[in-house]
Amino acid sequence: MNGTISSDGREIAIDIRNMSLWYGEKQALYDVSLPIRKNAITALIGPSGCGKSTLLRSINRMNDLVDGCRMEGSMMFDGQDILSPNIDVNTLRVRVGMVFQKPNPFPMTIRENLTYGPKLQGIKDKAELDEIVVSCLQKAAIYDEVADRLDRSAFGLSGGQQQRLCIARALSVNPEVILMDEPTSALDPIATSKIEDLAVQLRKDYTVAIVTHNMQQASRISDYTAFMYMGKLIEYGETSELFSNPKEELTERYLTGRFG
C-alpha cells in the first residue's frame, strides 16, 4: 500500500481530510482532518456523543447503513477515496476490518466463524482453510485455549474469548486496517488486558484505530491520540506528548477529569 508520508516520516494508511457528516438534518462531524498512520495504533478519545464512533465507522462505510447519512470531504486509502460513491464497499470492508463493542460471533462453530469470510472470497481448499483457522487464532492469541473445541459453538466461549475470536475472524480475510469500537467496554480487567496486549502485537502487521472511553487504555497502547469534542477534532498528536503536554485547554480539562 503506497500511502503518503507524514511529517515524522511515517506512512499514512488513511488520510482523512475535511470530513463532515450528517444524520438527516443533524450534523455529527465537523471538518475533521486526521492521518491514520500505518502500522501504528491511533486512539480516538472524548466524551460520549463526541463523534468518535461515527468517525471510526465512516472508515469502512458502516454509516451507510443509517438512513439519511450524508458525508463530505475525503478519506484517501491506497489512492482511492473511501467516501466516493464509486468505491466497492464490500471490498473495502474486507481490507478494513471491524471489531465491535460487544463480541458478536456468528451462531456457528469456532471453525466456521473463521472460514466464513475466506469461503465467500472463493477459498474452498480444506488444507488452506485449516491453515487460515490456525494462523488467525494464533495471531489473536487464543489458539491454545480453543484448539480442542474448534467444532463446538462459539457461544460456549467467555466474553473475552469471544472478542478475541471476533478479532481472529476479522483477520481471516487478510485486512490491512483493523477498526476497534470500544472493544473492551463489556469485558473484565483480565480480558481487557489480553485484548490490549493483542492490539499492540497486531500493529506490527496491521494499522489499528481504536475508539476508547478509557484514557488509561489510550495512554497504554496507542502511538497517536485524537481528542474529539462535539463532533470536532480538538487535538491530535503522539500519545505521550498529548497526555503529558496537551496544547488545547479543552484537551487538558478532559484529561484531568474536569468534564466528560
* pLDDT per residue as tens digits for the range 194-253: 999 999 999 999 999 999 999 999 999 999 999 999 999 999 999 999 999 999 999 999
User: What are the pLDDT digits (tens) for 159-175?
Assistant: 999 999 999 999 999 99
> Is the predicted pLDDT of residue 7 greater than 90, yes or no?
no
Average pLDDT over residues 35-64: 95
> Is the predicted pLDDT of residue 126 greater than 90, yes or no?
yes
pTM confidence score: 0.93
> Is the predicted pLDDT of residue 4 greater than 80, yes or no?
no
> Is the predicted pLDDT of residue 2 greater than 50, yes or no?
no
C-alpha distance from residue 181 to each of 36, 48, 78, 123, 242 (Å): 15, 13, 23, 29, 21
Question: Cell match 471538518: residue?
Answer: 31
**3-state SS assignment for residue 173:** coil
At a CB cut-off of 8 Å and minimum separation 6, what does 42 contact? Answer: 34, 36, 208, 209, 210, 222, 223, 224, 225, 226
Question: Cell match 463530505: residue?
Answer: 72
Average pLDDT over residues 60-70: 91
Q: What pLDDT score was predicted for residue 1?
A: 40
> Is the predicted pLDDT of residue 152 greater than 80, yes or no?
yes
User: What are the pLDDT digits (tens) for 76-117?
Assistant: 999 999 999 999 999 999 999 999 999 999 999 999 999 999
One-letter amino acid at 4 equals T
> Is the predicted pLDDT of residue 149 greater than 60, yes or no?
yes
Q: What pLDDT score was predicted for residue 260?
A: 59
